[in-house]
Structure 1
Amino acid sequence: MSLESAAEDGEDEYTFDDLSVVMGTYNEEAAIGTVLSDIERVTDGRAEVVCVDGSSDRTPDIAREHGARVIEQEPQGYGVAVREAVLAAERPVVVTTDCDDTYPMEALPRFLERINEGYDVVSGDRLYHGASAMPAFNRLGNHAFALLASALMGRRVHDTTTGMRAYRRDVVRRIRWTENTGLSAELLVRPLMRDYRVREEPIDYRERAGETKLDPLAGGAAIAGSILRVCLEERLR
């Protein structure tokens, strides 16, 4: 059943009118317009869009031109911005994404359908199809993060650091999020270890537009540390 027909039939299912798409943005003027246009096209302009921005370029202006709600924030890192964006969402289903045009907004209907099936978190698995557009070093690191998290949790996961996920808003508001660089992993690990219904959904992954802001070595060490810390904290809850 389509999202539109479910609403027409009066069934209690989420539609694009119940969807917030949120992201942290930092100097992404090369890609932000494309990402927001894709969201508008796929959701018929019905989704709420929230950008938490610390840019010095035209990123926030472009976001506002596309109707996004922009929350200005001093640059404090990826996780601080995304955490603010997630908690600022006003609709019952929240989708995180990056603003560099690597993630397919065409997956939004499928993510929403999975939430309607009863999942609490739907996590985009970039590695399922190989992620050939991802630099080889990053791809190797992401496989290693997944193996580390799987070993610590006792449950197999395939992509812990994807930036595209859908959440029931009440889930993200029940959990205290603590990580910065490693927030993407934390956003998967804590719900899994609290027995929420989580599904990894294969998605395509494109080459990013613009330059990455993350140092792969320092960032990788921070993410691994976050996985260790969060898994330990959840074990001791």
Structure 2
Amino acid sequence: MDKLAILIPAYNEEVTISKVVKDTLAVTSDIKGTSVYVYDNNSSDNTVELAERAGATVRHEYSQGKGAVIRRMFREIDAEAYIMIDADDTYPVEVIPDMYSRIVDRGIDMVVGDRLSSTYFEENKRPFHNVGNSLVRSLINFLFKTDIQDILTGYRGFSFNFVKTFPVLSRGFEIETEMSIHATEKRMLVENLVVTYRDRPDGSESKLNTYGDGLRVLKTVINLYRGYHPFAFYSIFSIISLIISATLFFGRVWIPYVQTHTVDNMPSLIVSMIFFVLSVIAFFSGSILAAIQTNDKRNFELSVVDASERLKDLRNEGKIKK
């Protein structure tokens, strides 16, 4: 078991991978028991060879997608602390010791490398990425009542408890959104660490599709809000259906009935009753799912305790590298 595991997901990053690995090894030379892992995701260039030559341990994930890579990394690697950094040389490795210290000394579960509070908007040459990052940050902080300053950053530090209790569901770049919301909803300790950002060097291309991946991120936010806050989510549909039902009933059925004492608009009455039933169904669906979610939270707390006990056992057995 490592004291610190540096996790680098990589896909066709031959331009930058050597520098990232070497810089990471240099800055962590004083942290004994550190290992650098490059997880290759079907690269067709020289990423694997260059990473091995630079001193990293290279492993492979053959299922395409960043989410699949992170799932593999989290399952296979045991460490007291983890730092995940992209292979594109856009993040400063100099803050890794600070991230590590926050995790092992202060018990922080996730340290977020915050690009948006520093140089991101000046360095990033893709304007729609800037808009998308700001939109997602504002939406998540509003819906989930959190204060994470950079939702989509690929530079993060994790505790053992976070890694071993995080269920990876996403396959692509929306995985960062999933991490942020999971940490918030499970009441884990999260800190923002402002880091400088530099755009990719010439010859290095982003794998992020602005519109396609952006839509997947928004879909992930909606799905996670439905999963973590089912009562609030279904109450929206309940209230909308109730308003439609009441509007149809009083406007098209009740007012004419008061005047004529006959139901002149039977179709409107039927439709209003259908919307009323839908309102009731949505309300009780949200209530039932909220009760299930409460039980899931209890089970999660037990899984955190199990992960903590496992880490203690590994320490006591002397299985952590020194």
Which TM class, normalised by the smaller chain length? 0.7 to 0.9
TM-score, normalising length: structure 1: 0.88
Give the structure 2 partner of residue 59 of structure 1.
47
Is it true that 1:128 corresponds to 2:117 in the alignment? yes
Q: CA RMSD in A?
A: 1.6
Instruction: State the Cα distance separating 1:61 from its structure 2 match.
Output: 0.9
Aligned counterpart in structure 2 of residue 33 of structure 1, from 8, 14, 18? 18
Q: What SS does the corresponding residue of 1:170 show, helix, strand or coil? A: helix
Give the 5 Å matches for 1:58-207: 58-115=46-103, 116-131=105-120, 132-134=122-124, 135-181=126-172, 182-207=174-199
The C-alpha deviation readout for 1:173-198, integer Å capped at 9, x for no partner, is 11211012210111111011110111
TM-score, normalising length: structure 2: 0.65
Specify the code of the residue in structure 1 equivalent to 2:57: R
- Count residues in correspondence: 221
Instruction: State the Cα distance separating 1:230 from its structure 2 match.
Output: 2.0
Instruction: State the Cα distance separating 1:75 from its structure 2 match.
Output: 4.8
Q: What SS does the corresponding residue of 1:201 show, helix, strand or coil? A: strand
Instruction: State the Cα distance separating 1:86 from its structure 2 match.
Output: 2.9
Structure 2: which 5+ residue stretches go unaligned?
A: 231-292, 294-322
Instruction: State the Cα distance separating 1:136 from its structure 2 match.
Output: 2.3
* Counterpart contact for 2:67–2:168, Cα < 8 Å: no
The C-alpha deviation readout for 1:109-139, integer Å capped at 9, x for no partner, is 1111221222111111100114121132211
Determine the C-alpha separation between the residues in 2 that align with 1:130 and 1:139: 11
Structure number with higher helix proportion: 2
Give the structure 1 partner of residue 264 of structure 2.
none
- Of structures 1 and 2, the one with the larger relative CO (CA 8 A, separation 6+) is 1
Determine the C-alpha separation between the residues in 2 that align with 1:167 and 1:231: 23
Is it true that 1:224 corresponds to 2:218 in the alignment? yes
Determine the C-alpha separation between the residues in 1 that align with 2:146 and 2:107: 20
* Counterpart contact for 1:96–1:166, Cα < 8 Å: yes
Instruction: State the Cα distance separating 1:73 from its structure 2 match.
Output: 2.3
Determine the C-alpha separation between the residues in 2 that align with 1:101 and 1:171: 25
Q: Extract structure 1 runs of 4+ deviating beyond 3 A.
A: none
